[in-house]
Amino acid sequence: MTGEAGLDLEKHQQEVLEQVAQAPDTGALEQLRIQVLGRKSALNRELSRVGQLPPEQRREVGRVANAVKGAIEAAIAERQAELRAGGAGSLDIAEAIDLTFPATRPRRGHPHPVSLVMREMEEIFRGLGYDIARGPEIETDYYAFEALNIPVGHPARDGFDTFFIATDDIEAGPEGEGKVVLRPHTSPMQVRYMESHPPPIRVVIPGKTYRRDNDATHVPVFHQLEGLLVDEGVTVADLRGTLEYFARAMFGDDRRIRLRPDYFPFTEPSLEVHVSCFQCDGAGCSLCRFSGWIEILGSGMVHPNVLRFGGIDPDRYTGFAFGMGIDRIAMLKYGVEDLRSMLDPDLRFVRQF
């Protein structure tokens, strides 16, 4: 049946069905499907002109055209199933395993950028004669605050956003005394190490720390590296020389540092340490906020009270301490803008380093 000057639908159906039956593979069948059923196909054009036919022809031509389309679709689906079944039967030959062909090697893991930087920092300080120590991540309020010259009621406690741990056998006071915490910094190991190691002391303590922060530059779980040196006659000049050596080893031989007054309860004097920008060499850029300097850590001379808590005589010994965020150093070293990327499980991020 044909419409007025239109396609002979019955003849077209017979021709297409013969072509479908002769399709040699699924690729050829797909090309044929697009040719006979696609938007530009003759059958589709016939369907689009049904509405232009006289009323007495419109219904019949439309019915036949749709029936032809349905028959072709059914024949293509049936032929496709036949071809796939035939292909499955030949898998033993077409996809036989060649035992002499080299196997695909499994992908090896890759160290996280924070782990890479932590190891590099440890090696730098090992080269200066420092020991590496680890400490507990669950701390008592005594070591986390009181032994660091931050007694109950001290305003510095408010700046730590501490995670407190509920325990059945400890009755905590109203301001935190007696509580158990996830350590908000690695500084508690200063006192723990001094209690068990007489001077001279040279130690760095890397590890996880926890605070209730979460934005582009703060996350609830991050990493710090604490440094402590205690001996007779230690001065700020020793502190400066140590940190300048570290900055050059980590960021390049041309780096310079500057010290600025700051405040930390466990050091006196306290110093903020900046390194000359390694991207613009101090000229000013977006990384250093056009100042030429980047803040990398806090430091200072160990407070006499902290030495006493550690069982060391402050009249005989002095020392310095420093603490830095390993995640921040990794961000600066590798140009990572958002600290939360360090927690992303996407392996494509890790494999960049």
Write the DSSP symbol of residue 215: B
Which candidate, 268, 286, 274, places its Cα nearest to that of 324?
A: 274
Contact assessment for residue 29 and residue 80, using Cβ atoms and an 8 Å cutoff? yes
Under a CB-based contact definition with an 8 Å cutoff, are residues 230 and 301 in contact?
A: no
Do the beta carbons of residue 322 and residue 273 sit within 8 Å? Answer: yes
Cα–Cα nearest to 144, from 187, 197, 192: 187
Q: What is the Cα–Cα distance from 349 to 343, expressed in whole angstroms?
A: 10
Specify whether the CB–CB gap between 168 and 180 falls below 8 A. no
Question: What local confidence, expressed as pLDDT, does residue 47 receive?
Answer: 75
For residue 269, say if its preceding peptide bond is cis, omega within 30 degrees of 0. Answer: yes
Residue keyed to tokens 């956003």: 161
Whole-number pLDDT of residue 82:
84
3-state secondary structure of 323: strand
Of 4, 63, 15, the C-alpha closest to 41 is: 15
Q: Residue 95's pLDDT is what?
A: 57
pLDDT of residue 60: 78
Cα of first residue to Cα of last residue in the chain, in angstroms, is 69
Angstrom distance (rounded) from CA 223 to CA 331: 12
- Check: CB of residue 35 under 8 Å from CB of residue 43: no
Greatest alpha-carbon pair distance for the chain in Å reads: 115
**Among 281, 326, 280, residue whose Cα is nearest residue 121:** 326
Please state, in angstroms and as integers, the Cα–Cα distance from residue 250 to each residue in 41, 117, 329, 333, following that order. Answer: 67, 9, 9, 8
What integer pLDDT is reported at residue 37 of this predicted model?
A: 83
pLDDT score of 119: 96
- The answer to whether the CB of 114 falls within 8 A of the CB of 326 is yes
Q: Which amino acid is at 253?
A: D
Ordered mean pLDDT values, 10 residues apiece, the chain (353 residues): 60 84 85 83 77 74 80 86 69 60 78 91 96 93 92 77 71 56 93 95 95 74 95 97 95 91 94 89 81 92 97 97 93 81 78 79
Q: Can you say whether residue 69 is alpha, beta or left, with left for phi > 0 and alpha for psi between -120 and 50 degrees? A: alpha
